[in-house]
Chains A and B, each alone.
Chain A
C-alpha cells in the first residue's frame, strides 16, 4: 500500500508538472512525441481494461458493451468543455492558468463519468438478470444502440465527427487517472464487497442462498466499471481533440475483451499487461497490419484452449504465488449441467 502510494505520488508530480508546462514538459524533456503517444494511449486503455476486468473478471458477468460507456464519457466531457469551457475559464480568471485548466478537466471528466454511470445503471438493471451468453449479446446490443444514438445527435457532430475539442489532457493526466483507477479497483477487490463479487462469480445461486444480494452487487460493480470507462473516454477526447463514433464500435469493445483475456481475467496486473501488450504490439506490427487482427483472434482462441487463465493467471498485486492457487475458480464453474 505504501509502495503504491509512492507510485501515486510520482504520478501526481508528473501530472502537476505537465499541467504547469501545458502538457509538454514530459515530451520536451524525457520522451519523444511518438513513443509518448503510444504510452499515453496505453494508459487510457489500461483504465478501460482494468475497469472492464472488474465486471468481467471479478464479478464474472460477461459484458461486451464497454465501448458504449467510453463513448458516453468521451462525448459528455467534450461537450461540456466545448460548451462551457470558455465561460468557466473566464469566471475563474483570477486563478493561475494551470489551475483553471486542471479544474476544468476535473469537472468535465466527472461529468463524463456521471453520464456513463447513468448509462451503466440504465443498461445494467435490465441486463444483469440475464445469463452469461445472453448478457453478452444484450450488452453488445446496448453498446451499438448507444453509438447509433450519439451518431444522430447533431450537436456533437453526428456523422461528421466532433471537432474543436481542446487539448486539455496529456500523459500526466492519463497517468494520474490510471494510477487512481488501479488503486480503486484493487481496494474494491480486497474489500468485503470484493469478496461478494467473487462469490457472485463463483456460484451465484450459492451466494444468493448465503444472503448476498447478487443483483445489487452486480449492478454496483457494473456502474463503477462504466463510470471509469466514461472517465477514460473523457481523457481520450481531450487527448485526441476529435471524436467520431467509428472509434466506439463493438470491435473496440472486443479489443478490450482481448486485452483482459490475454492478461488474465482475475488479475488487475494482468489487465495492465494485456492492455500495454496490445497497444505496443499494434504499433510494432504496423508493417503487417492485415495480419494483426488475424493474429490477435488466433491468439484469443489459442489462449482459451491452452491457457484460459491468461498470461498472468491470478497473479496480482499483493498476492503471492501460493495464495494465488487458492483463488483459482473450480473447473467448470458456472457451467450448465
Chain B
C-alpha cells in the first residue's frame, strides 16, 4: 500500500510540472489557435537562465531568498523571450495559412534547441542547490521539499491565472480575443498587446517550471523541453485546450498515468502513454475533459 501511495506522490509531483507548462500552451492556443511548439523550449531556456543566475549568485548557504531571486530572473528573461518570439516569428505569419504558422513554430523550436546546444553546450548541466532541502515522511511514503514546492506553486499559478482571466478587465479582453480576434479589435481591444501579454505570462510560468525542475531533478540539457513540452501539450488537450483549470487537471492526470504505467506495466511505454492518450482523446473526446464542444461552422 505504501508503494502505491509513494507512486501517487511521484505521479502528482511529475504532473505538477506538466501542469505548469501546459498552462502556457493552453493560453496561447486559446488566443491564437496556434500550438506553440517552441513553448517546451522556452521552459528549457528558463531552466538555463535559472542555472546561470544561481551560479552568479553563488552563496554558501541555500536560502529561499536566493531561490526566489533566481526564479524571478528566469521569469523575466522568458517573458521577454516569449514576447520576442511572438513579435518576430508569429506575428508576421498570423494571417497566413495554418501550415505556415505551424512550420514557423517548428522552426523556432528547432532554433532554440540547436541554439541552446551551441550556446550552452550539449552536455547536461546540474543545478546547484538553491533552496534548503527537507525531507518529510508520512509512514513509509517520502516527500521532498522540492516536490511539495512544485505542487504548491502550480496550484498558486493556476489560481492566479484563473482570477486574472475570469475576474479582471484584462481577463475579459483575453477572453474576447480568444472568441473572435477581429471582433475584439473592433470593440477597441488592443489585440497585439493582449497577445503579447499572453505569451509573456505563459513563458514566465514555463520558466517557473524550468527552475523548479532544476531544483528537483537537478539535471538540465538543451533538449529537455522536447518531451516535457509534448507531454504538457497532451495534458492541455486532455484538460480541454483553452481551459485553465483543465490544464492543471490534465497535467496531474498525465503525470499519474505515466508513473503508474512505468511502475505497473513497463517503463518502455513511458513516452508512448502520452501519445496514446492524445490519439484516444482526439478520436473520442476532442474537447478534453473541461472544454466546450465547438461546432465547426462553414
Contact = CB atoms under 8 A, between A and B. Distances in A.
B84 interface: no
A290 B278 contact: no
Interface stretch (B125-133, B254-262, B268-276): B268-276
Contacts of A1: none
B286 to A, nearest CB: 8
B268 A336 contact: no
A148 B111 CA distance: 26
B114 A294 contact: yes
A257 interface: yes
Contacts of A331: 95-97
B110 A133 contact: no
B108 interface: yes
Interface in B97-150: 97-100, 102-104, 106-108, 110-111, 113-115, 117-118
Given A138-B282, A305-B92, A296 B97 contact: no
Contacts of A301: 89, 104, 107-108, 111
Nearest to A149: B272
A92 interface: no
B53 interface: no
A258 to B, nearest CB: 8
A293 interface: yes
A205 B298 contact: yes
Given A138-B279, A141-B278, A301-B108, A293 B114 contact: yes
A290 B117 contact: yes
A152 B268 CA distance: 9
Q: Interface on chain A toward B: helix, strand, loop, or mixed SS?
A: helix
A62 B99 CA distance: 7
Interface in B54-110: 89, 92-93, 95-100, 102-104, 106-108, 110
A8 interface: no
Interface in A111-143: 126-127, 129-130, 132-134, 136-138, 140-142
Given A130-B282, A294-B118, A298-B111, A136 B95 contact: no
A157 interface: no
Interface in A293-334: 293-294, 296-298, 300-301, 304-305, 308, 329, 331-334
Contacts of A296: 110
A136 B272 contact: no
Contacts of A294: 111, 114-115, 118
Given A133-B98, A138-B278, A144-B275, A300 B93 contact: no
Contacts of A130: 282
A293 B103 contact: no
Interface of B: 33-35, 89, 92-93, 95-100, 102-104, 106-108, 110-111, 113-115, 117-118, 230, 233, 237, 268, 271-272, 274-276, 278-279, 282-283, 286, 296, 298
B93 A332 contact: no
Nearest to A129: B283
A308 B115 contact: no
Given A141-B278, A334-B99, A336-B98, A148 B271 contact: yes
B107 A304 contact: yes
Contacts of B34: 133
Contacts of A64: 106
Nearest to A265: B99
A254 interface: yes
A145 B110 contact: no
B102 A132 contact: yes
B136 to A, nearest CB: 36
A335 interface: yes
Contacts of B279: 126-127, 138, 141-142
Contact of A300 (B103, B272, B298): B103
A291 interface: yes
A333 B97 CA distance: 5
A332 B282 contact: no
A261 interface: yes
A137 B233 contact: yes
B100 A304 contact: yes
Interface string A139-181: 0111011001000100000000000000000000000000000
